[in-house]
């Protein structure tokens, strides 16, 4: 990826702003998502809540399944590869996928290294719990960051924690002097030029989306109001009582995220949200957000 | 009177337009509802996903845009140019039909096929412009009233029809405000 390609890849992320990206596992779901107004779909064999239940190693989805979805919709299609699994990423790039998610939701393939995303032409999105992690991923070439939250739980608390954490730290950088920024880069374990960029602009060098545990239109609005530019909704759509209605309500809630009147209107009559898990029920090894380094 | 440029703010790449216009000393307004257009002198339909924007454009807002476009400058970028076209293919979908154009969605392909090329054009100060094409639509044909301001490889990429204009690439992502200034010049004329 050269600078030109990087500009195109960050540009695509910018085009998705103010939208909802939905997890889909088949053509039918992809069409429901597109019809509801999703800006993009994430093609994967199992959504996070099912990954939690089934256990075992979770890998990149089968290419034919991703292709079927790609052919069924006109919006951009994303797919996930395991952290550090650059061979899976090579396959996804060959498939012509629009965005590759190097995702902690799948079982990591490398517990030390992430993918060198500069080796690829395709754009990558990566998860982050904090600013240091976000800037390390951008340093490796990510064109979009999403706060991780805790996928598949229907519990937005971790997503909120990560977004708050990130925004607080970004704000703190904007009032630091140059000599403080060098020390802060050391604390963050992040490249100094990216730390300087954040300090100067008050934002990440790439669009900042939110993910993990979004179950209702109100959850989506909350993350937008906390500074997300777009929201990923995974299990929240197709494990809810009425996926088509929930999908549309989430799309409307993101577009009108700071209008309570509209939020009330779209929150009515959409049925039950997905089954959820409180953080206390999760064992430490069941938490996905800790994956990634 | 101070000009206010409206930006359709339902989904997509809006903030870069706000920044450029602010630098040019122009006030902007986020257009979400029909009455937001009251008092605006021009309207930008930004890049993004046209299918998503269509879901958000209510009949009332559509009417307001159509009325507004009769007398005021409107500029569609990428997805916005799809909304402006009379005919949309690949797949066919509804549009505002403001310009006599047939356009193909994702006409160049998916993200792998996105590209940046210098676009020759005949605006006053610049001979070329950095054309950033992202999953861009392709203009297939244009009516007699449509004038081409720039071609890329013989395909029109920057067109105008009286006070309406469309670009299939993204001037808001380039470090050059020439096309924004050209659009603003339509307000005065």
Q: What is the ipTM of this complex?
A: 0.95
Contacts of B173 in chain A (CB under 8 A): 7, 11, 14
Instruction: Report how many helices (DSSP H) and strands (DSSP E) chain B contains, helices first.
Output: 5, 12
pLDDT at B1 over 60: no
Is the Cβ pair B52, A37 closer than 8 Å? yes
pLDDT at A123 over 80: yes
User: Between β-strands B155-161 and B147-152, what pairing exists: parallel, antiparallel or unpaired?
Assistant: antiparallel
Cβ contact A274:A236 at 8 Å:
yes
pLDDT of residue A11: 98
Provide the percentage of residues in chain A whose pLDDT is more than 70.
100
Q: For residue A209, count CB atoms less than 10 angstroms from its CB and return exposed for 0-12, middle for 13-18, buried for 19 or more.
A: buried
pLDDT of residue B122: 77
Cβ contact A85:A109 at 8 Å:
yes
Contacts of B51 in chain A (CB under 8 A): 34, 37, 74-75
Nearest residue, CB atoms, A75 vs list B14, B49, B116: B49
Chain B residue at shortest CA distance from A207: B13
B120 or B125: which carries more pLDDT confidence? B120
A37 to chain B, minimum CA–CA distance in Å? 4
- Phi, psi at B163, each rounded to 5°: -90, 5
Contacts of B48 in chain A (CB under 8 A): 15-19, 39
* Token reading at B98: 């403001």
Nearest residue, CB atoms, A96 vs list B112, B116, B170: B112
Is the Cβ pair A122, B48 closer than 8 Å? no
**Whats the size of chain A, residue-wise?**
293
Strands (E), chain B: 4-8, 27-31, 42-45, 74-77, 85-89, 99-104, 115-120, 128-133, 138-142, 147-152, 155-161, 164-167
Per-residue pLDDT tens digits for A202-255: 999 999 999 999 999 999 999 999 999 999 999 999 999 999 999 999 999 999
User: Between β-strands B164-167 and B74-77, what pairing exists: parallel, antiparallel or unpaired?
Assistant: parallel
Is the Cβ pair B15, A11 closer than 8 Å? no
List, as one string, the DSSP characters of B82-108.
HHHEEEEETTT------EEEEEETTTT
Neighbours of A266 (CB within 10 A): 24
Chain B residue at shortest CA distance from A256: B10
Per-residue pLDDT tens digits for B51-73: 999 999 999 999 999 999 999 99
Contacts of B106 in chain A (CB under 8 A): 74
Is the Cβ pair B13, A36 closer than 8 Å? no
> Among A53, A70, A80, A171, which one carries the catalytic annotation?
A80
Neighbours of A7 (CB within 10 A): 18
Cβ contact A212:A159 at 8 Å:
yes
Catalytic residue flag (residue A80): yes
pLDDT at A48 over 90: no
Test mutation, A2, A12, A14, A93, chain B, max B CBs within 10 A = A14
* Token reading at A164: 């708050």
Test mutation, A15, A92, A99, A120, chain B, max B CBs within 10 A = A15
- Phi, psi at B70, each rounded to 5°: -65, -35
Total count of domains within chain B:
1
- The domain that holds B8 is classified in CATH as 3.40.50.880
Q: State how far the Cα of A170 lies from the Cα of A173, in Å rounded to an integer.
A: 5
pLDDT bracket for residue B74 (50, 70, 90)? very high
B124 to chain A, minimum CA–CA distance in Å? 26
Q: State how far the Cα of B18 lies from the Cα of B77, in Å rounded to an integer.
A: 14
Domain boundaries, position B168: 4-188
pLDDT bracket for residue B189 (50, 70, 90)? low
Neighbours of B18 (CB within 10 A): 18
Element (H, E) at A277: none
pLDDT bracket for residue A47 (50, 70, 90)? confident
Query: Which of B45, B7, B21 shows the shortest CA–CA distance to B184?
Result: B21
Chain B residue at shortest CA distance from A21: B52
Chain A residue at shortest CA distance from B107: A74
Is the Cβ pair A11, B173 closer than 8 Å? yes
């Amino acid at each position: 990826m050269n600078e030109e390609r990087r500009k195109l890849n960050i540009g695509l992320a910018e085009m998705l702003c103010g939208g909802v990206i939905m997890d889909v596992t088949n053509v039918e779901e992809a069409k429901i998502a597109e019809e509801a107004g999703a800006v993009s779909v994430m093609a994967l064999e199992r959504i996070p809540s099912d990954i939690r239940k089934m256990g075992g190693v979770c890998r990149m989805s089968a290419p034919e399944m991703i292709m079927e979805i790609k052919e069924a919709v006109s919006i951009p299609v994303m797919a996930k590869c395991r952290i550090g699994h650059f061979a899976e990423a090579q396959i996804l790039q060959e498939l012509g996928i629009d965005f590759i998610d190097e995702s902690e939701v799948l079982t990591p393939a490398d517990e030390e290294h992430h993918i060198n995303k500069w080796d690829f032409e395709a754009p990558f999105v990566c998860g982050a719990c904090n600013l240091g992690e976000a800037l390390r991923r951008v340093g490796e070439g990510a064109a979009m960051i999403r706060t991780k939250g805790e996928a598949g739980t229907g519990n937005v608390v971790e997503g909120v924690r990560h977004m708050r954490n990130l925004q607080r730290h970004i704000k703190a950088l904007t009032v630091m002097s140059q000599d403080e920024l060098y020390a802060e880069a050391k604390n963050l374990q992040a490249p100094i030029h990216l730390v300087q960029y954040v300090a100067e602009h008050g934002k990440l060098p790439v669009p900042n989306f939110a993910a993990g545990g979004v179950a209702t239109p109100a959850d989506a609005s909350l993350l937008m109001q906390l500074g997300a530019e777009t929201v990923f909704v995974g299990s929240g759509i197709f494990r809810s009582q009425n996926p088509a209605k929930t999908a549309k309500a989430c799309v409307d809630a993101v577009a009108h995220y700071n209008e309570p009147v509209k939020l009330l209107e779209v929150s009515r009559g959409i049925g039950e949200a997905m089954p959820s898990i409180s953080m206390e029920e999760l064992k430490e090894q069941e938490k996905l957000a800790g994956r990634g380094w | 009177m101070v000009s206010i440029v409206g930006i359709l703010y339902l989904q997509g790449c809006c903030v870069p337009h706000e920044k450029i216009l602010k630098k040019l000393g122009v006030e902007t307004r986020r257009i979400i509802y029909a009455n937001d257009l009251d008092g605006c002198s021009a309207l930008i339909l930004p890049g993004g996903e046209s299918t998503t924007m269509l879901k958000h454009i209510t009949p009332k807002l559509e009417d307001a845009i159509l009325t507004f476009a009769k007398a005021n400058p409107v500029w569609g970028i990428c997805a916005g140019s799809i909304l402006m076209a009379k005919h949309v293919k690949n797949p066919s979908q509804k549009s505002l039909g403001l310009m006599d154009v047939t356009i193909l969605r994702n006409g160049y392909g998916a993200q792998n096929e996105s590209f940046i090329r210098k676009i020759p054009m005949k605006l006053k100060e610049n001979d070329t412009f950095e054309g950033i094409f992202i999953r861009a639509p392709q203009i297939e044909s244009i009516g007699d009233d449509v004038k081409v301001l720039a071609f890329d490889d013989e395909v029109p990429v920057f067109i105008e029809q009286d006070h309406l204009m469309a670009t299939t690439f993204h001037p808001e992502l380039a470090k050059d405000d020439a096309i924004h200034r050209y659009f603003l010049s339509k307000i005065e004329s």
